[in-house]
Amino acid sequence: MFYIHNPKPWEKLKPTDESDYWDRRRILKSIGLATGGLLAGSSFMSACSPGRSKEKTLQETVTNHFSFDGIENYFPAKRNTNYTLDREITDEYSATHYNNFYEFIDPSDPNIYNAYRFVDRFDNRDWKFEVSGLAANTGTFYLEEIIKKFVQEERTYRFRCVERWSMAVPWTGIPFSKLVSFFEPTNKATYIRMISFSDENQMPGVKNMKHYPWPYFEGLRMDEAMNELTLLVTGLYGKPLPKQNGAPMRLITPWKYGYKSIKSIVKIEFVNFEPETFWHTLAANEYGFYSNVDPEVPHPRWSQAREKMIPNGSWRPTLKYNGYGEYVAWMYS
């Protein structure tokens, strides 16, 4: 099957109540279960969560999770109240159970948004990433060290997929500009290229959809990377990022369509040319490099004038730059 961003009718998801993540982690730790990564998943969980046998619970989606000793001191991060919204926050269940993550499309499930069902084998512990290219401070970096070194904050952003669904979610992360400066790009570096993790033993989409140009790759112009809105995201709803949302580190550029927000980053490269991108390679006339949200520029196969809010399903007008014109419009004039 070849899927290229086809808007699907919105399926109503039922929000699930959730007991406190960190309380649970503490309990598991005290009985010696939380350290090895494998939280003994289903049998333990079903004993604790009667009536949730069919759907995975929020807790089950965070097994084998990126973690380090003391991580609870970094989540939730302090909220940055400069970023407030004109719309209702999407509930956590919807934001973590309706995802676009092609690496986790499984042929057994016609619902391509069900990544949460197929992330079990994705091992995102001890995450490290490589920085290379036109910069002075290159090499391999551990995410744990990055989280400890920089101050994380929480920001609630609008999030708009090119397929027209939109959400509003609280991300935890580090302003990307701080990270970029830390790597000391040279003045020849004009763009940044980023690459996602890819392993066919852990990702059914990579294994089965060979016609896609894995690994997923994206890019930004340097001024976009340095924009105050661009966030290197490590968390969602005050907790470390769930795997299906791009754990343990992804990008968020809220004024662009969602596919620019590359997940599970393993490589950052400073270059002096506009880099090719995953979706542009697949359909050049549908997915350009900039991909700024714009109600007046239709996708070749559908209008972008309106968007459908998750979870309530109501439509509203799309905002130019997804409502972030005051932060970004100057970059494009």
Ligand X SMILES: Nc1nc2c(c(=O)[nH]1)N[C@H]1C(S)=C(S)[C@@H](COP(=O)(O)O)O[C@H]1N2
- Mapped onto helix, strand or coil, the DSSP state of residue 241 is coil
Q: Which residue has the tokens 């763009």?
A: 191
Rounded to a whole number of angstroms, the minimum distance from the CB of residue 263 to Mo ion is 11
Using alpha carbons, select from 206, 201, 209, 217 the residue that is nearest to residue 264: 217
Q: Toward ligand X, which CB reaches closer, 185 or 246? A: 246
16 versus 261: smaller Cβ distance to ligand X: 261
Nearer to Mo ion, 81 or 281 (CB): 281
CB 55 within 8 A of CB 215: no
Measured between alpha carbons, how far is 297 from 313 in angstroms, rounded to an integer?
22
d(C-alpha 289, C-alpha 132), whole Å = 21
**Least CB distance to ligand X at residue 123 (A):** 16
Smallest separation (angstroms) from ligand X to the CB of 259: 4
Distances (CA, A) of 155 to 62, 84, 167, 222, 232: 21, 8, 13, 22, 11
Report if residue 277 touches Mo ion, rule: CB under 5 A: no
Choose the contact partner of 255 out of ligand X, Mo ion, none; CB within 5 to 8 A by kind: none
245 binds ligand X (CB under 6 A): yes
DSSP state of 256: B
Closest approach of Mo ion to the CB of residue 132, in Å:
27
Nearest to 262 by CA among 329, 187, 309, 195: 195
**Calpha distance 48→27 (Å, rounded):** 12
Q: How many CA atoms lie within 13 A of 182 on its CB side?
A: 14
Residue 262 binding target from ligand X, Mo ion, none, CB below 5 to 8 Å by type: ligand X
Q: Among 63, 99, 114, 234, which residue interacts with ligand X (rule: CB under 6 A)?
A: 99
Residues 207-226 that bind ligand X (CB under 6 A): 216
When the beta carbons of 7 and 325 are compared against Mo ion, the nearer one is 7
**Smallest distance, Mo ion to C-beta of residue 101, A:** 10
Minimal distance, residue 30 CB to ligand X, in Å: 31
* Beta-ladder partners of 179: none
Q: Would you count residue 254 as binding ligand X (CB under 6 A)? A: no
Which of 95, 161, 169, 195 touches Mo ion by CB under 5 A?
161
Query: Which parts of this chain interact with Mo ion (CB under 5 A)?
Result: 100, 161, 258-259
**Contact residues for ligand X (CB under 6 A)?**
99-103, 161, 196, 216, 245-246, 258-259, 261-264
